[in-house]
Structure 1
């Protein structure tokens, strides 16, 4: 079955079998993962994490699901990556779904195209488990999601303040949540937040934003990009938001390279098409092959997995996007 984000949040405690979360909304992904991990901890469910870097890694996942430690009665296996199981691993998945009613396989994947959603892997889980697209395509969906965030912070916004917040952040939920946190701290005693409160709180919060970083990246201005990145880090911008901005530009450039006539359908604004086209002319297409792995490394380092420094990795991504890679292995 398919569930949206808000439905999935309500079903976390009873989740069993196989679930897939997929999308490009870091706020929704992080909130759901936090809810799952809290539930597992509360119910003393053993948790294991696997990062899929090749098809063979799926065997380790199913081996884990079919074995428990001496001190556990239930297991949750959290899988991250963008590589789907092959035919032999799909057989193991079918066997797991049919025979194991107590454990949970939770797969976390980036946004998938229509062909991927029609694959045997997705079809099998949708028919026997749960798929959760991490999207919020409509204003009412985004406001409900952010309404929950405001409720957690103990604040209320006037209806026109919601509209201003969404327009200000161009539908970026994670950035909007960060703004709610700022306005909550600044106007803790205000009963209903108005547009004036938002504006006065946010206009001076940062000299640069992630949108300025995106513009500098597309222009190929390495010095300005690094300057903005360092400012964002110093001003406390969430690393996940910076990664989201960089990965969005990488994804759009790769998609535009493959579908040069479909810029509008890919979500590129009409007045930005020429900027993306100029960026493509500047870049060597060979760099696209390295971007997915680099983004996975950044994501893992932000989550504290491994010994790599996320700031250093993000600077590598920035340099690569500007067409001036720091190292030959990501050229």
Structure 2
């Protein structure tokens, strides 16, 4: 079954079987993942996460799905990566879909091209699972998505203000959401946000986004990366979204190190392959080994677990991606 982002949001609590989320809209992915995790916590469903770096990892995933812990009746397995199951993995997927009605396999992938969407893996998902394209190709879709974000913030926009907001951000949903957060703080007493409110609030902004942070990290520019990070924090960017961007780039670099010939298959845009290759030449395998545990520490600190400062840890991750260290 194929559904869109808004339909997926309504089905989160009842999600079972196999779901695939794919696209290049970080706001949509983060919102859905937050909704899933909140639902699992509310329903007391055990959650496990796996990152796929080779085809053989799928066997571990399906073994996990078929073996609950003593204290769980349901399991949600969250899988991240861009490597699809091979023939043996597909057989395990079909068996899971036929016999395991309570558990959920949630697969999160980058944007897929048309040929990838025609593979046996996606055909199996379309026929027996749920295929969610994280896209918003039309102005009406983007406005509907952002209207939900505005509603969360308790603000309303005039019709022409929506058009101005979209034009200002060139269809970048994440940047548009940040602007909604900024205007809601600046004009908290205004009933309906007009163009002049948006203009007054946004005209002097540098308009950095997490995409700019990714570019600076890949270039190894520590000073610019820290500057963008500080700007994003000051403008109300959720730390969880900044972590999402950093972990995505770390994951791609680690996968490219293991599979240097498979840049396009990993979801790296053709025009950016050279940037990733340049970053790899700057970094060492020992650096990669430290990243998974650092990401876990950041995630835990954002959720209020432990005693470490999340912002300081993120700055450590930024420095590490730039090939430098904050401490000697």
**1:314 Cα deviation after fit:** 3.5
Alignment TM-score, normalising by the size of structure 1:
0.74
Structure 1 segments unaligned to the other structure (5+ residues): 260-265, 269-275, 320-324
Map of 1:68 onto structure 2: 68
Map of 1:273 onto structure 2: none
**1:43 Cα deviation after fit:** 2.0
The answer to whether the aligner puts 1:165 opposite 2:184 as a matched pair is no
The answer to whether the aligner puts 1:314 opposite 2:313 as a matched pair is no
Aligned pairs for 1:1-331 within 5 A: 1-204=1-204, 206-207=205-206, 209-210=208-209, 213=212, 222=221, 225-226=224-225, 228-229=227-228, 231-232=230-231, 235=234, 237-238=237-238, 240=241, 244=245, 303-304=299-300, 309-315=313-319, 317=321, 319=322
Q: Secondary structure at the match of 1:188?
A: coil
Q: Secondary structure at the match of 2:73?
A: coil
Please report the RMSD computed on the Cα atoms of aligned residues, expressed in angstroms.
Answer: 4.0
Whether the 8 Å contact between 1:21 and 1:131 is mirrored in structure 2 is: yes
Rounded to whole Å, the distance in 2 between the matches of 1:186 and 1:114 is: 43
Structure 2 segments unaligned to the other structure (5+ residues): 257-262, 302-307
Whether the 8 Å contact between 1:82 and 1:109 is mirrored in structure 2 is: yes
Whether the 8 Å contact between 1:214 and 1:246 is mirrored in structure 2 is: no
Alignment TM-score, normalising by the size of structure 2:
0.75
**1:228 Cα deviation after fit:** 3.6
Rounded to whole Å, the distance in 2 between the matches of 1:312 and 1:138 is: 38
Rounded to whole Å, the distance in 2 between the matches of 1:151 and 1:315 is: 37
Whether the 8 Å contact between 1:24 and 1:134 is mirrored in structure 2 is: yes
Rounded to whole Å, the distance in 2 between the matches of 1:54 and 1:216 is: 26
1:37-75 deviation per Cα after TM superposition (whole angstroms, max 9, x unaligned):
222222222222222222222112111111222222221
Comparing 87-96 and 224-233, the one that deviates more: 224-233
Rounded to whole Å, the distance in 1 between the matches of 2:206 and 2:6 is: 34
1:199-257 deviation per Cα after TM superposition (whole angstroms, max 9, x unaligned):
112234x4462399479859x79477346435425625445359759979xx9xx9xxx
The structure-2 alpha-carbon separation of the partners of 1:6 and 1:82, relative to structure 1 and needing over 3 Å to count, comes to same
Q: Secondary structure at the match of 1:76?
A: strand
Whether the 8 Å contact between 1:61 and 1:77 is mirrored in structure 2 is: yes
1:75-126 deviation per Cα after TM superposition (whole angstroms, max 9, x unaligned):
1111112221122121111110111111111111111222222222111111
The number of residues matched between the two structures is: 297
Whether the 8 Å contact between 1:208 and 1:231 is mirrored in structure 2 is: no
The structure-2 alpha-carbon separation of the partners of 1:243 and 1:56, relative to structure 1 and needing over 3 Å to count, comes to same
Rounded to whole Å, the distance in 2 between the matches of 1:127 and 1:160 is: 41
Whether the 8 Å contact between 1:208 and 1:232 is mirrored in structure 2 is: no
